[in-house]
């Protein structure tokens, strides 16, 4: 048995150009920090291809494919057909990240909504869980997920930013909730309360790297090794030892992505 807590980063963008010069070192630091699994997340057609390519090379990296709400305007019929084709590739464990972002509105809202619905349908055809991005669009996102029967395929609300009531509604839909770096911030809003509230079998953690570094690394490029900071904060908020929180969230990640559980 290893002395390190075994962690699983459910949401990273390791194939992004931010890691072009030192990706091997980033992965080595993740492994040295106890990160035993990572899912690298596509956001458009090119990055979905890149995610599959990286997962093919690294035994502890899996991929997801999908079109981010920022890129929804690029998602015509042909592109979505290509995403569906990619979803069959080996080591693709989810469809995402998909959802709504009414904060930045980089694609028109009606287009975001349409592309989100179509990718939910795609995930149903593939029988794959979904990775949901939601910013300033909680009511709309939850309504689409309910109407799209997300409970039948499963999924995760990534980088959860709501309150306990919002978390309860995600749980009612059958979703996992993923906490990221913001739970460590001084202005963590309702996230500490959410961390304490979450049932142990529905919580996962993530970095969303290269974005959202935890406290202590703010202003820098994030990477999976820093997941230890977020996990330690969540464990402290819940009043449980880090190794227990790490084991539970890793088991949950493997359940979410339908990967074999680790022997312990």
Task: Give the shortest CB-239-to-Zn ion separation in angstroms.
Answer: 29
Which residue's CB is nearer to Zn ion, number 15 or number 133?
A: 133
Q: Which stretch binds Zn ion (CB under 5 A): 85-93, 116-124, 169-177, 200-208?
A: 200-208
Residue 82: is it exposed, middle or buried by C-beta count within 10 angstroms (0-12/13-18/19+)? middle
- Closer to Zn ion by Cβ: residue 157 or 229: 157
Site for Zn ion in 64-103 (CB under 5 A): 97
Query: What's the closest the beta carbon of residue 264 comes to Zn ion, in angstroms?
Result: 29
C-alpha count within 13 angstroms, C-beta hemisphere, residue 110: 0
133 binds Zn ion (CB under 5 A): yes
Question: What does the angle CA 32 – CA 17 – CA 259 come to, to the nearest 5 degrees?
Answer: 50
CA 186/CA 178 separation, integer angstroms: 19
For Zn ion, which stretch binds (CB under 5 A), given 125-133, 140-148, 165-173, 232-240? 125-133
Q: Which one of the spans 25-33, 114-122, 202-210, 244-252 is the region binding Zn ion (CB under 5 A)?
A: 202-210
Picking from 184, 253, 224, the residue whose alpha carbon sits closest to that of residue 18 is 224
Candidates 136, 182, 177, 122; CA nearest to 155 is 177
CA distance 160 to 166: 9
CB nearer to Zn ion: pick between 204 and 235 = 204
Nearest residue to Zn ion, using CB?
133
Residue 156 CB, nearest approach to Zn ion (Å)? 11
Number of residues that bind Zn ion (CB under 5 A): 3
Cβ proximity to Zn ion, 141 vs 252, nearer residue:
141
* Residue spans of beta strands (DSSP E) within the chain: 7-12, 35-41, 61-65, 92-101, 130-135, 155-157, 176-179, 203-205
User: What is d(CA 57, CA 48) in angstroms, rounded to the nearest whole number?
Assistant: 15
Nearer Cβ to Zn ion, position 68 or 254? 68
Nearer to Zn ion, 128 or 133 (CB): 133
DSSP 3-state percent helix, strand, coil across the chain (nearest 5): 45, 15, 35
> Nearest approach, Cβ of 159 to Zn ion (angstroms)?
6
Binding to Zn ion, residues 157-196 (CB under 5 A)? none
Could you say whether residue 15 binds Zn ion (CB under 5 A)?
Answer: no
Do you know the residue count of the chain? 264
Structure-token pair, residue 161: 């930013």
Chain residues binding Zn ion by CB under 5 A are 97, 133, 208
């Amino acid at each position: 048995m290893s002395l390190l807590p075994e962690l699983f980063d459910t949401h990273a963008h390791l194939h992004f150009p931010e890691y072009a010069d030192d990706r091997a070192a980033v992965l080595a630091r993740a492994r040295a920090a106890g990160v035993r699994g990572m899912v690298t997340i596509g956001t458009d057609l090119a990055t979905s291809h890149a995610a599959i390519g990286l997962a093919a090379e690294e035994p502890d990296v899996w991929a997801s494919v999908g079109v981010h709400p920022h890129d929804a305007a690029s998602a015509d019929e042909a592109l979505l057909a290509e995403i569906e084709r990619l979803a069959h590739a080996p080591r693709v464990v989810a469809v995402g990240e998909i959802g709504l972002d009414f904060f930045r509105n980089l694609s028109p809202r009606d287009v975001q909504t349409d592309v989100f619905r179509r990718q939910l349908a795609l995930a149903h055809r593939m029988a794959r869980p979904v990775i949901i991005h939601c910013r300033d669009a909680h009511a709309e996102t939850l309504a689409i997920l309910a109407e799209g029967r997300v409970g039948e395929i499963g999924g995760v609300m990534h980088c959860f930013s709501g309150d306990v009531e919002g978390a309860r509604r995600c749980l009612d839909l059958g979703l996992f909730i993923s906490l990221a770096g913001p739970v460590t911030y001084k202005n963590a809003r309702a996230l500490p309360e959410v961390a304490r509230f979450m049932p142990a079998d529905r919580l996962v953690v993530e970095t969303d790297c290269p974005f959202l570094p935890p406290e202590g690394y703010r202003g820098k490029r994030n990477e999976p090794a820093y997941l230890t900071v977020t996990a330690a904060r969540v464990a402290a908020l819940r009043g449980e030892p880090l190794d227990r929180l790490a084991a539970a969230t890793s088991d949950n990640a493997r359940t979410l992505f339908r990967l074999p559980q680790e022997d312990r």
